[in-house]
Structure 1
Amino acid sequence: MLLRNNWYIENYARDVATAAETGRITAAVGDAKVAGAARVDFAAAAAVAITDDAYLGRTLELAGDVPFSYADLAAAASEIHGREVVYDAVTPEQLRANLLGFGLDEGTAGFVVALDEGIAAGALDSDDHTLSQVIGRPTTPLAEALRAAL
């Protein structure tokens, strides 16, 4: 069996923590959606899949039930921190310049920009509900998963 996990909500913990001070989450993803899920949900699916022969030889595409935009991410950060957090949409070029200005090397900045470009192109959007079907419950909501990660 092969488990293909979408993006982990916990990947945003640092951005959300920083937003407590800055009031911003900056990215070059436009209005793209991410069907991320919490690590606990992916772990639960792995536990089911390795103990149930029904999953032998299958490839499972695992994604969160409710895809979220970066505006949704900012709204969840606002809820968590009790202060306004906005999504600051920038171009890939602006993001690269920001990252280089923060001291990242060109290769790392290029990697981060490429991630955002992939997200903007829809690489992490999904309406698949295999994950919740495998674990037998809805996936963890965005704000709840972020609170746990923080």
Structure 2
Amino acid sequence: MIVITGATGQLGRLVITSLLKTIPASNIVAAVRNLDKAKDLADLGVQVRHADYSQPESWDTALAGASKVLLISSNEIGQRFAQHRTVIDAAKRANVKLLAYTSLLHADTSPLGLAAEHLSTEQYLANSGVPFVLLRHGWYTENYTGSLAASIAHGTLYGSAGDGKIASASRADYAQADATVLTTENQAGKIYELVGDSAYTLTELAAEVSKQTGKTINYVNLPEQDYRELLVKVGLPDVFANLIADSDTGASKGALYEDNKQLSKLIGRATTSLKDMVAAVS
């Protein structure tokens, strides 16, 4: 039995969709905070169990009988490590045979501020005694394409990534890779650095959007602080504005680039191209 944490999130749902192609729904457990949001998963035959980071005891029930667990990193910045630790401790009590954790690309050397909680989680896992595999995700292309509507409307794409190359892939690509690892034996101890097959700069992203929309979109590179202030001005909370601006600066230092093709090897096909991702939202 495979338990997926954060199962009603964007990545969690995609992982379950991938798993359903190869294993029975009854062998999948969706661990969720809000049971109502998982009704569609229950309708598919997936077991839905309540699990709340603020209620550590709930994880003992959620992981009962589990052989494998996919710990999808929490989205609560600043609280991630404590929350992840709760799941890892429960996995140890449940004698889980494999815990797969969605970490960050090169978490042990990344300059991104995001890396700290991921690395703390990795280190805790390493000392926990729970067999584990690290699924170090690179950037999701949706992190950029999800906000392209505003760029198209204003004719400008802002960022602070300079000429840094970004080897991103779609969430669906990562989800399929995660599902593949969960359904493949002898994964304990492995570390996957997962990225898209090809890379681009934000200038090249702007050019692709221009090509597909027929409207000139210029990339404007800003200092990190200026970009952060712009993001706050358009309505993003400080914590997310800091995260995005810091990540863009990290990209300028190569933090979102790798060229190992591990992701496409796992999924058995090329990762989704930037062209196709832009087309889906243009």
Fold-level similarity (TM above 0.5): yes
The counterpart of 1:34, out of the listed 166, 171, 175, is 166
Supply the distance in 1 between the matched residues of 2:261 and 2:239 (Cα, whole angstroms): 35
Q: In the superposition, relative to structure 1, how do residues 51 and 111 fare at CA in structure 2: closer, same or farther (>3 Å)? A: closer
In structure 2, the residue matched to 1:73 is 205
Tell me the equivalent position of 1:64: 196
Q: Secondary structure at the match of 2:180?
A: helix
1:15 aligns with 2:142: no
Aligned to 1:82: 214
Distance 1:107 1:40 in 2: 26
Q: CA RMSD in A?
A: 2.1
- Aligned pair count reads 150
Question: C-alpha offsets along residues 76-109 of structure 1, whole Å, 9 cap, x if unaligned?
Answer: 2113322111111122233234335445565554
Q: How high is the sequence identity, in percent, across the aligned residues? A: 35
Cα displacement (A) at 1:149: 5.3
Aligned partner of 2:182 among 50, 55, 62: 50
CA distance in 1 between counterparts of 2:233 and 2:281 reads: 28
Q: Which has the larger radius of gyration?
A: 2
| More deviation, 134-143/46-55 | 46-55
The letter for the 1-side match of 2:276 is E
Amino acid at match of 2:143: N
Q: What is the distance in 2 between the residues matched to 1:4 and 1:99? A: 27
* Structure 1, 57-66 or 99-108: larger mean CA deviation: 99-108
What amino acid is the match of 1:29? Answer: A
1:129 corresponds to 2:258: no
Scaled by the length of structure 2, what TM-score is found?
A: 0.49
> Residue 93 and residue 47 in structure 1: after superposition, are their counterparts in 2 closer, same or farther (change >3 A)?
closer
Match of 1:4 among 136, 146, 149: 136
Q: Is the 8 A contact 1:15 1:25 kept in 2?
A: no
Give the 3 Å change call, closer, same or farther, for CA 140–106 of structure 1 in structure 2: closer
Q: Which of the two has greater helix per residue?
A: 1
The residue number in structure 1 matching 2:230 is 98
Gapped runs of 5+ residues in structure 1? none
The worse-fitting range, judged by mean Cα deviation, of 112-121 and 40-49 is 112-121
Task: State how far apart, in whole Å, the 2-side matches of 1:72 and 1:35 are.
Answer: 12
Give the gaps of 5 or more residues in structure 2: 1-132
For residues 3 and 106 of structure 1, what CA distance do their matches in structure 2 show?
A: 28
* CA distance 1:13–1:98, change in 2 (3 Å): same
Provide the secondary structure at the position in 2 that maps to 1:33. coil
